[in-house]
Chain A
C-alpha cells in the first residue's frame, strides 16, 4: 500500500496513520492547487478523525538546482503550513465532526465533516470526511516478488484495497495568494500529536517510499534487522538528521537495486560511491509540483525524470488521484523507462475520482449493503 500501516508505532492509532498524499492543479482553474491527505486505511463506517492529532500540510518553494546524474532540488527554508484539527463528535453515534483549518495569517475555517460542500475561507476551500480509497495495488504480488526475487505480477491482479474507504482531507487553495511566487513547490503532509509542543507521528511525501522502497530488510546488508520506518517517520522531511541519512541511503540503495534486477538487466548503474541514481531524489521525500502547468493524468515523478535526462519538464508533476502510480513506480524502478510500462495487474480503483470538488469518490457502502 502506498503508505498504509507503515511503521509499527503508527498502528496504534489508525486516525493518525497516513496512507497517501496527492497534489495536483485544480482541473477547472490553474490558479488553484489541490492537496489531499488520506489517513486510516480500510476504515470502517464509524471511523472519525482524532481530536488529539494535528493534520498538517507543509509547503515550501522549490527550485531545480541540478540536472543530470546529480539532479537535485533546492528548497527554501521558509514554509507555509495549514493545520487541520477536529472536535469530539456528539454522543449520538454520529460520525459528524466539526473540523477546523488554520490558514496562514491566523484565520480559521470551520466546517462539518462529510459535507461535500466543505468550508471556505480566504483563498481556500476545505473538505474532510470518509471517501472511497483512491489508491489501488496488489500487495500479494509485491510481497511475492520480494520473496521470490522474480516479478510476480499477474495479468489480472487482486486489488488489496478494493471497496475500502479512507478518511480524506482536501485543501484547495489559491497558490499565488497563499503561497507566494512559485511556481514550483515541495509538499509534505504530517500527523502530529497535539499539545504545547506538537510531536510528529508520521510524515508523507512521495508514494511508496516507506513500504515498497524501504520496508524490505533482506536486501540491505548494512542494517538487515532494522525496522527503519518509525525512525524515518519521525524525521523532518526537509531536514533529515545527518546521523541517520546513511541508514536510509543504504536501505534505498539495496531495495532499488533489487527492483532494478527484476527484468534481468541493470537500468540504474550505481555511482562510484555505490549509490543508486534515484536514491538522492527519493530521499527528497516530498511531492514536487509545478503549479503553472495544467493537470495531467500521469505526472508523478515527471519533473524528476526530466531533471535526470537534462531537459525541461512538461507536466505539473505532483500526483493526480487517478494515476496508476504503482505502474509508474514499478516502471521507474524496474526498467527506468527503457522498456514497456510495467503493469501490476490492477488498473483502476473501485471508483474513479472526479474533477469536481471534493474530487474523491463517495465512500463505499458497508459490507452488508455492498
Chain B
C-alpha cells in the first residue's frame, strides 16, 4: 500500500484544510472514460434523456478543463439534437441553454430557459442557470440576487462557490476569497475538478486586479489539483510573463499552443515572444493565432469576439479589426471588461489613424462608461 496516497494533495491557500480528492490525472482520465462510455452506449437503442444531457455536460466540463473548443462544439451539436428529439422535455432545453451560454449566445440561452420553465422544470434550477447567463451578460445585480438567495437558502459548496465566482467576476475580491474558503470547507466530493475550477476563477480575478503573486498562488493550486488544466496553465503563463519570467511563461504555453484548438495560447505566445525579443517566434505564433481566430469568428462570432479583439489589439496588430470585434462584443455583453476593451480598441484605432466616425456616440458613451466602471 502506498504510504499515504493522499499526503501530497494541495493545501487550500485560503487557509482551510484541503479535501482528499482524486489525483487530477485520474480524474481527467475518468472524465474521458465517462464520455467514451456514454458515447458508446448511445449508439444502439434510445439512450435515456438524462444520459444524453449528462454527456453534454461532461463534454462541456472537459472542454473547459482542457480548453478544447471541439468538445464544446460537440456538446452544442448534441444539445441541438436533444432538443429536436425531446421537444417537451425541460432537461433538453436546460442542456442547450448551458451550451449556448458557453458560446455567448446569451439571448438564445435565456429563451431556452424560459421554455424549460414553462415545461415545468424546477424553478430554482432554472434560476441558477439564469444567474450564470446574467453574469455573462454583465447583469450582475440580477445574478447576485439569485446567487445570494440560493446561498442563503442552502449554503453548499455549489451555491457558495457560484457566489464566489460571481464576486470574483465583479472584482469584489475580499468577499470572493471569503466565500471561496467557506465553499471549500463544505466540499464533500472526491473529484478535484470543482476545486480546481474555483481556484482558477480566483486566480483570474487576482490577475485582473494586478495582484500577480496572489494570482500565481491560485492558478498554481488549480494546477496542483489538475495538472492538465489548460486555461490555468495559460493564465499562469501570462502571470509569469508579467513578472518578467519569459522563459517560464513560454515553457508553459508552448505545449498548449502546439496542440490546442483554442488560439488564445498561440496569441499569448506571440505577445510574450515579442516582449521577450523573439520576433521570428512571435510572427510564427501570430500567424497561427490569426488564422484560427478568423476561422472561429466565422463560425462562432459571439463567443470569440472579445478574445479575438484582445489578440488584434496586442500581438495581432490590427486595431481596426479589434475595434469592430470589440463593438460586437459590447453588443452581446455589457460587462465592465467589454466597455474597457472597446475603450482600448477606440484608443488604439485612433492612434493608428483609423477614422471611427461611423458610430461616434456609442463609442464615446462606452468609453465614459468604461472609465467610470474601471474606477470602481
A binds B: yes
- Give the B-binding residues of A (Cβ under 8 A): 9, 11-16, 40-53, 85-89, 91, 95, 98, 100, 102, 108, 110, 139-140, 143, 158, 160-165, 193-195, 199, 201, 366-367
Contact of B30 among A48, A98, A164 (CB under 8 A): A48
Asked whether any CB of chain A lies closer than 8 Å to the CB of B45, the reply is: yes
Asked whether any CB of chain A lies closer than 8 Å to the CB of B23, the reply is: yes
Stretch at the interface among B162-170, B184-192, B335-343: B184-192
Task: Give bound CA distance, A267 to B115, whole Å.
Answer: 44
Asked whether any CB of chain A lies closer than 8 Å to the CB of B141, the reply is: no
Stretch at the interface among B32-40, B199-207, B325-333, B365-373: B32-40
Known: A47-B29, A201-B190. A140 touches B46 (CB 8 A): yes
A-B contact pairs, 28 of them (CB 8 A): A13-B22, A13-B189, A13-B190, A15-B190, A41-B37, A42-B37, A48-B26, A51-B23, A52-B5, A52-B6, A52-B23, A53-B190, A87-B5, A88-B26, A100-B1, A108-B1, A140-B48, A158-B45, A160-B45, A160-B48, A162-B44, A162-B45, A163-B41, A164-B37, A164-B41, A193-B19, A201-B190, A367-B40
Per-residue CB contact flags for chain B residues 11-55 toward chain A (1 = under 8 Å, else 0) read 000000001111101110110111111111101111010000010
Smallest Cβ-Cβ distance to B23: which chain A residue: A88
Task: Flag if B194 contacts A12 (CB, 8 Å).
Answer: yes
CB-CB under 8 A from B2, the residues of chain A are 51, 85, 87, 98, 100
Task: Flag if B30 contacts A46 (CB, 8 Å).
Answer: yes
9 more A-B residue pairs beyond the given contacts A89-B26, A100-B1, with a C-beta to C-beta distance below 8 A: A11-B54, A12-B191, A40-B33, A47-B37, A52-B21, A85-B2, A98-B2, A158-B46, A161-B41
Task: Give bound CA distance, A87 to B54, whole Å.
Answer: 28
Task: Flag if A85 contacts B189 (CB, 8 Å).
Answer: no
Per-residue CB contact flags for chain B residues 71-104 toward chain A (1 = under 8 Å, else 0) read 0000000000000000000000000000000000
Main SS class of interface, A:
loop
- The smallest C-beta distance from B230 to any residue of chain A, in angstroms, reads 17
Contact of B189 among A9, A164, A165 (CB under 8 A): A9
Task: Flag if A102 contacts B33 (CB, 8 Å).
Answer: no
Task: Flag if A15 contacts B26 (CB, 8 Å).
Answer: yes
Task: Flag if A42 contacts B34 (CB, 8 Å).
Answer: yes
Task: Give bound CA distance, A87 to B44, whole Å.
Answer: 35
CB-CB under 8 A from A193, the residues of chain B are 19-20, 188, 190
Task: Flag if B34 contacts A88 (CB, 8 Å).
Answer: no
Total inter-chain residue pairs, C-beta < 8 Å: 134
Task: Flag if B29 contacts A48 (CB, 8 Å).
Answer: yes
Task: Give bound CA distance, A14 to B40, whole Å.
Answer: 16
- The smallest C-beta distance from A81 to any residue of chain B, in angstroms, reads 14
- The smallest C-beta distance from A145 to any residue of chain B, in angstroms, reads 15
Contact of A14 among B19, B20, B30, B39 (CB under 8 A): B30
Task: Give bound CA distance, A143 to B50, whole Å.
Answer: 12
- The smallest C-beta distance from B232 to any residue of chain A, in angstroms, reads 19
Task: Flag if B29 contacts A42 (CB, 8 Å).
Answer: no
Task: Give bound CA distance, A194 to B190, whole Å.
Answer: 9
Task: Give bound CA distance, A118 to B34, whole Å.
Answer: 25
Task: Flag if A42 contacts B41 (CB, 8 Å).
Answer: yes
- The smallest C-beta distance from B51 to any residue of chain A, in angstroms, reads 8
Task: Give bound CA distance, A13 to B187, whole Å.
Answer: 13
CB-CB under 8 A from B38, the residues of chain A are 42
Task: Flag if B190 contacts A16 (CB, 8 Å).
Answer: yes
Smallest Cβ-Cβ distance to A198: which chain B residue: B20
CB-CB under 8 A from A88, the residues of chain B are 5, 23, 25-26
Task: Flag if B36 contacts A44 (CB, 8 Å).
Answer: yes
- The smallest C-beta distance from B90 to any residue of chain A, in angstroms, reads 16
Task: Flag if A110 contacts B29 (CB, 8 Å).
Answer: no
CB-CB under 8 A from B45, the residues of chain A are 158, 160, 162
- The smallest C-beta distance from B39 to any residue of chain A, in angstroms, reads 7
Smallest Cβ-Cβ distance to A367: which chain B residue: B40
Smallest Cβ-Cβ distance to A84: which chain B residue: B1
Task: Give bound CA distance, A108 to B2, whole Å.
Answer: 11
CB-CB under 8 A from A41, the residues of chain B are 37
- The smallest C-beta distance from B112 to any residue of chain A, in angstroms, reads 22
Smallest Cβ-Cβ distance to B50: which chain A residue: A5
Task: Give bound CA distance, A195 to B7, whole Å.
Answer: 9
Q: Which 6 residue pairs across A and B have the least CB separation, nearest first?
A: A44-B36, A44-B33, A47-B33, A42-B37, A100-B1, A195-B20
Known: A12-B189, A52-B6, A199-B188. A110 touches B33 (CB 8 A): no
Task: Give bound CA distance, A155 to B332, whole Å.
Answer: 54
Smallest Cβ-Cβ distance to A52: which chain B residue: B22
Task: Give bound CA distance, A160 to B50, whole Å.
Answer: 13
Task: Flag if A12 contacts B1 (CB, 8 Å).
Answer: no
CB-CB under 8 A from A95, the residues of chain B are 29
- The smallest C-beta distance from A45 to any residue of chain B, in angstroms, reads 6
- The smallest C-beta distance from B185 to any residue of chain A, in angstroms, reads 14
CB-CB under 8 A from A42, the residues of chain B are 34, 37-38, 40-41
CB-CB under 8 A from B40, the residues of chain A are 42, 44, 163-164, 366-367
Task: Give bound CA distance, A128 to B38, whole Å.
Answer: 22
Task: Give bound CA distance, A201 to B190, whole Å.
Answer: 9
- The smallest C-beta distance from A41 to any residue of chain B, in angstroms, reads 8
Task: Flag if B32 contacts A44 (CB, 8 Å).
Answer: yes
Task: Flag if B189 contacts A195 (CB, 8 Å).
Answer: no
Task: Give bound CA distance, A7 to B23, whole Å.
Answer: 23
Smallest Cβ-Cβ distance to A110: which chain B residue: B1
Task: Flag if B190 contacts A12 (CB, 8 Å).
Answer: yes
CB-CB under 8 A from B21, the residues of chain A are 52
CB-CB under 8 A from B54, the residues of chain A are 11
Task: Flag if B20 contacts A40 (CB, 8 Å).
Answer: no
Task: Flag if A51 contacts B194 (CB, 8 Å).
Answer: no
Task: Flag if A45 contacts B20 (CB, 8 Å).
Answer: no
Task: Give bound CA distance, A190 to B278, whole Å.
Answer: 56
CB-CB under 8 A from B190, the residues of chain A are 12-13, 15-16, 50, 52-53, 193, 201
Task: Give bound CA distance, A193 to B6, whole Å.
Answer: 10
Task: Flag if A43 contacts B25 (CB, 8 Å).
Answer: no
CB-CB under 8 A from A98, the residues of chain B are 2
Smallest Cβ-Cβ distance to A162: which chain B residue: B44
- The smallest C-beta distance from A11 to any residue of chain B, in angstroms, reads 8
Task: Give bound CA distance, A338 to B338, whole Å.
Answer: 71
CB-CB under 8 A from A52, the residues of chain B are 5-6, 20-23, 190
Smallest Cβ-Cβ distance to B31: which chain A residue: A14
CB-CB under 8 A from A53, the residues of chain B are 22, 190
Task: Give bound CA distance, A197 to B20, whole Å.
Answer: 10
